């Protein structure tokens, strides 16, 4: 499906629904949890295609410095809505008492994985015993690894964790100075592109292969925002779900929108990466619960794993950290 066709559909939809004029659109600030890039293409597509404007929103998107940073911005009123990992939300509410809640999921399955080189002979997690895994301070991959080791029959005590700088993680892996590195599976395209330059290739060991399937990236808002501007949040969620569906139908248009708003992004890299991101957004979980949906059983499983890794209260009710009232009613 071409970008012209998608754009035509969107224009027709806006005319039929009665487009909200730019003058009437309400300003909203979306804080990302990292630097703008392929993983956020749906939001840039939503802006460029007019989806957010159609829903009465003039959306401003700014970079983030991690999930914790985004949640702090929301709690302090520096942003209206933000993207952050579900694990960071549970931890921030428990340890910092941040008044922030999840209002919709984005990645309904976790992209956590370890990257190894195909010529290393490592094909599964047990193959990492007595090997060196690079890690950055506080990295959630290490916090979750005891659970991965348990599920995969790996002796976690035989893993050699080596603290390295995040920027050097890929080069150290490719050069063989470490045996494995923690990445999201969606980073495969870019890291493997670097490996191919020296005649090598990356192998991905997804945590999901051993049944580790928890909520990951999600949309959040402060409790004050939820109380004061519920209709705008409802409009934002509706627009965001529409933007994700549109981006899924036409990834090229989504990536072109990303490049237009972020010229430093290379179109080819965006297309390669975004195709991987979509697998963690549109999957069996989303098909069952609806895009953005929050399933109570899955929420409890996610919290149980996070609580164990972060030493949180295992008896806390994770439902207190979410508000599902902004999601569309399931048909």
Mark whether 94 and 145 lie in a shared domain: no
Q: What is the pLDDT of residues 119-152, one digit of tens each?
A: 999 999 999 999 999 998 778 899 899 999 999 9
The predicted model scores a pTM of 0.86
Mark whether 269 and 124 lie in a shared domain: no
Beta-sheet strand order (sheet of 26-31): 57-62, 26-31, 81-85, 217-222, 100-105
CA 87 – CA 67 distance, rounded (Å):
9
CB-CB contact of 17 with 238 (8 Å): no
Mark whether 256 and 309 lie in a shared domain: yes
CA 65 – CA 184 distance, rounded (Å):
16
Mark whether 151 and 195 lie in a shared domain: yes
Residue 329 lies inside a defined structural domain of this protein:
no
CB-CB contact of 70 with 64 (8 Å): yes
Mark whether 104 and 219 lie in a shared domain: yes
Supply the range of the domain harboring residue 301: 3-109+214-321
Residue 330 lies inside a defined structural domain of this protein:
no
Mark whether 225 and 200 lie in a shared domain: no
| pLDDT score, position 112 | 94
Number of domains in the chain: 2
Residue 331 lies inside a defined structural domain of this protein:
no
- Mean pLDDT per block of 10 residues along the chain (331 residues) reads 43 43 79 93 98 98 92 97 95 95 96 97 97 88 92 96 91 97 93 96 96 93 98 98 98 98 96 96 95 96 93 96 93 62
Residue 254 lies inside a defined structural domain of this protein:
yes
Of 183, 150, 292, nearest in space to 233 by CA: 292
Mark whether 152 and 11 lie in a shared domain: no
Mark whether 18 and 33 lie in a shared domain: yes
In b/e form, how buried is each residue of 94-111, taking b as 16+ CB within 10 angstroms? beeebebbbbbbbbbbbb
Question: Which CATH number goes with the domain that contains 283?
Answer: 3.40.190.10
Residue 167 lies inside a defined structural domain of this protein:
yes
Residue 192 lies inside a defined structural domain of this protein:
yes
Mark whether 58 and 178 lie in a shared domain: no
| pLDDT score, position 136 | 86
Mark whether 205 and 261 lie in a shared domain: no
Mark whether 135 and 169 lie in a shared domain: yes
| pLDDT score, position 24 | 76
Angle between helices 267-281 and 188-196 (to 10 degrees): 140
Domain edge (last residue) among 210, 228, 251: 210
Residue 328 lies inside a defined structural domain of this protein:
no
Residue 267 lies inside a defined structural domain of this protein:
yes
| pLDDT score, position 282 | 97
Measuring CA to CA, how many Å separate 55 from each of 19, 75, 206, 229?
8, 25, 37, 14
| pLDDT score, position 3 | 45
| pLDDT score, position 331 | 62
Mark whether 62 and 183 lie in a shared domain: no
């Amino acid at each position: 499906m071409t970008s012209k066709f998608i754009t035509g559909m969107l224009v027709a939809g806006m005319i039929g629904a009665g487009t909200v004029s730019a003058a009437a659109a309400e300003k909203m600030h979306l804080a990302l949890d990292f630097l703008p890039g392929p993983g956020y293409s749906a939001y840039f597509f939503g802006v460029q295609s007019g989806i957010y404007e159609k829903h009465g929103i003039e959306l401003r998107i700014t970079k983030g410095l991690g999930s914790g940073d985004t949640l702090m911005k929301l709690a302090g009123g520096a942003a209206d809505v933000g993207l952050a990992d579900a694990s960071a939300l549970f931890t921030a509410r428990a340890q910092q008492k941040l008044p922030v809640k999840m209002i919709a999921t984005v990645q309904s399955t976790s992209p956590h994985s370890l990257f190894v080189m195909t010529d290393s002979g490592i094909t599964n997690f047990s193959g990492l015993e007595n090997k060196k895994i690079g890690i950055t301070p506080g990295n959630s991959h290490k916090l979750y690894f005891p659970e991965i080791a348990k599920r995969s029959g790996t002796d976690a005590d035989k893993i050699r964790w080596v603290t390295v700088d995040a920027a050097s993680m890929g080069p150290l892996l490719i050069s063989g100075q470490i045996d494995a590195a923690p990445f999201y599976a969606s980073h495969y395209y870019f890291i493997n592109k670097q490996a191919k330059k020296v005649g090598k290739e990356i192998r991905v060991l997804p945590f999901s292969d051993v049944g580790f399937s928890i909520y990951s990236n999600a949309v959040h808002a402060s409790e004050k925002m939820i109380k004061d501007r519920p209709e705008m949040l409802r409009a934002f969620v509706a627009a965001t779900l529409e933007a994700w569906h549109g981006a899924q139908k036409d990834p090229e248009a989504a990536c072109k929108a990303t490049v237009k708003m972020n010229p430093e992004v290379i179109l080819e890299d965006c297309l390669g990466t975004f195709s991987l991101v979509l697998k963690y957004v549109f999957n069996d979980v989303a098909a069952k619960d609806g895009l953005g949906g929050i399933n109570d059983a899955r929420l409890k499983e996610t919290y149980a794993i996070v609580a164990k890794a972060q030493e949180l209260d295992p008896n806390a009710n994770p439902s207190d950290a979410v508000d599902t009232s902004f999601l569309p009613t399931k048909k």
